[in-house]
Structure 1
């Protein structure tokens, strides 16, 4: 069905107009982006999912222990489905005990072979201590073998839209074909925060003691008084370099940053700080339209009503430069011949937002009411009008 493009101009109660501002004097000031020394990086707004800044964000790289974000996501999902309990006991296999030579030198929680460990302790050991042994123990408990758990990880990745990710194990230990991207990790981080908000609080814990051994969270930005970082995960192998996925919340805005392939712990923290500071300093979120707000009416053919109100199924959240707040234009496309019956929530077109010539975001335009079919004569009458339309 063909689409007809029109321009929607609406005066918002917040006090600004959605209109293109062509006057150079009013054009938004563009701040210079920081130089980030990393093989790949990305900065995303959590609420809108919009990307503020990126470089090589789709380059497939080894994720090291950032892999454990997916391991913990699956654990969180199993807990919330009721398939696991925090008090469940997990028998530690010899493989999970980390005596396998390939795991020597990796992060450990120091669990003991043939002993039972509570799920809650293993969950914390994965998130806070980045324990390879805890990851394997949980992988075997959930899926039987670590290989079967890796298959499960890949199914979750596909479901979340992580298009360039493939897992071979639960720990992130180097393996051929075990790769992900900065973009996919940002998608996963957003899902962790959104889907399991109570569990996400574990990522802010600074240390964890198990078996008499106290270990600190390796995320050096936790507790930073200027950024309010409350997660997420570090990673390091010789092949991957030093990596860090972080999230911070400031003035009702949450940002997610991904930095991959830096040269040291200090550098991954410094480059992350650059990204977060830049985002909080220059960007903001606005909601020009609310879900269910009637934006206009659309003609309905062969319906009991001739028009239907249309709007958005979700709030229109936009992330943009603070200096661009009054320089937005909203355009839309709408189906030229909408035929009854129409159902509430049915997609009838699209709204897209621009600043100047740059498109910021697109959202589906939906019917806000039901419109039933007209009677026989009403349908015939509209058929005749459509013949000449």
Structure 2
């Protein structure tokens, strides 16, 4: 393999600014992530399994969105409201027992109003019973890599036996990211400030929707055991962040602590695009090929998260095959590239042939073979 170091910019790097330390966050557990890259900007106790209260409903809504997008259910489907759903205590959408409610209205009731009755009704409509739906929730959690989550019901209320659902801040972050990226057609519901059902208008409990125009989701939660919790997502100048706080002291505290995290992430970090699909990063010599050279490039869009203003300090180290012989197709892996900042590897990926190169005829192959032989004698 041969190595080549590439500077991303020929401009002189600006004087490196001091990166302030992350703010103190008054929560039992928290995490902040760049949604595009998956880079964790700050975290504390993010893998501790804690009661999530109504943050549970993000999973309930996620499964409904999966079923809709898979064609197994539609917004216009009518869900029957059982006595169990109707009697469920806590926050309500105020569905009527024995009635039929559109799935779309139930979904809005779950997301905007945090309706426990709507959550049970959705669970029963999808899985036949809330117990069966809880098993489905655990299956989806496993598929999403949510290793510290356990679901017993669709609402997040404590069970009659005193048990409760469990989720970690990192698991909630994974679920929020999947909701945003996998089911974007439904995500706008999380930004709606109020919903009226059965003649009753209720506001969204996420107060950041009313304070910060960049915040467009997601969900609040509270029980005595869980404290005040909030999963939030915001987008500014093409950068999307997801934050999770669990176990804060009050409604105001969960908003303030979340705002601290979002402000820190947006002010001091940026989502930087490294490569587009097909970007050429070098040209390599081809031996015994119909062409004498091949362009080497990237076959995926690549984004990284870096301290704001330091893009000019990035370097890329390219390792490619020392002797590339003709007879390969476009997309063939011919090396790798590592992108670093301050000796930290931010991206490592394959380098591929932008175009294929056919094998040369016998005369050119003979000439190139002799050339390589001679080079080998004198190197």
Q: TM-score range by the shorter chain?
A: 0.7 to 0.9
Q: TM-score, normalised by structure 2?
A: 0.85
**Structure 1 residues 362 and 259: CA distance shift in structure 2, 3 A:** farther
Q: What does 1:73-84 align with in structure 2 at a 5 Å threshold?
A: 73-84=62-73
Equivalent-residue separation in structure 2 for 1:347 and 1:233 (angstroms) = 43
Range with greater deviation from structure 2 (358-367 or 27-36): 358-367
Other-structure match for 1:245: 231
Confirm or deny that 1:263 pairs with 2:249.
yes
Equivalent-residue separation in structure 2 for 1:28 and 1:318 (angstroms) = 19
Cα displacement (A) at 1:148 = 2.5
CA deviation profile, 1:356-380 (whole Å, cap 9, x unmatched): 1223333343343345567899999
Other-structure match for 1:118: 102
Other-structure match for 1:185: 172
Cα displacement (A) at 1:339 = 7.8
1:141 to 125, 134, 140: 125
Unpaired runs of 5+ in structure 1? none
Contact 1:29–1:323 (Cα < 8 Å) also in 2: no
Equivalent-residue separation in structure 2 for 1:237 and 1:173 (angstroms) = 8
Equivalent-residue separation in structure 1 for 2:122 and 2:104 (angstroms) = 11
Q: TM-score, normalised by structure 1?
A: 0.83
CA deviation profile, 1:225-265 (whole Å, cap 9, x unmatched): 4x521100111122222110111122222211111111111
Cα displacement (A) at 1:121 = 0.6
**Structure 1 residues 50 and 5: CA distance shift in structure 2, 3 A:** farther
Q: What does 1:321-336 align with in structure 2 at a 5 Å threshold?
A: 321-334=307-320
Contact 1:62–1:239 (Cα < 8 Å) also in 2: yes
CA deviation profile, 1:73-100 (whole Å, cap 9, x unmatched): 1211222222212111111122222x2x
Contact 2:8–2:316 (Cα < 8 Å) also in 1: no
Confirm or deny that 1:214 pairs with 2:211.
no
Cα displacement (A) at 1:338 = 6.9
Aligned positions, number = 371
Equivalent-residue separation in structure 1 for 2:24 and 2:281 (angstroms) = 41
Cα displacement (A) at 1:145 = 2.1
Other-structure match for 1:131: 115
Unpaired runs of 5+ in structure 2? none
Larger radius of gyration: 2
2:24 to 31, 35, 58: 35
**Structure 1 residues 379 and 166: CA distance shift in structure 2, 3 A:** farther
Q: Secondary structure at the match of 2:152?
A: coil
Equivalent-residue separation in structure 2 for 1:159 and 1:125 (angstroms) = 26
Equivalent-residue separation in structure 1 for 2:109 and 2:264 (angstroms) = 32
Equivalent-residue separation in structure 1 for 2:215 and 2:48 (angstroms) = 26
Q: Aligned Cα RMSD in Å?
A: 3.1
Equivalent-residue separation in structure 1 for 2:325 and 2:227 (angstroms) = 57
**Structure 1 residues 95 and 320: CA distance shift in structure 2, 3 A:** same
Cα displacement (A) at 1:125 = 0.3
Q: Secondary structure at the match of 1:95?
A: helix
**Structure 1 residues 11 and 327: CA distance shift in structure 2, 3 A:** closer
Equivalent-residue separation in structure 2 for 1:62 and 1:303 (angstroms) = 62
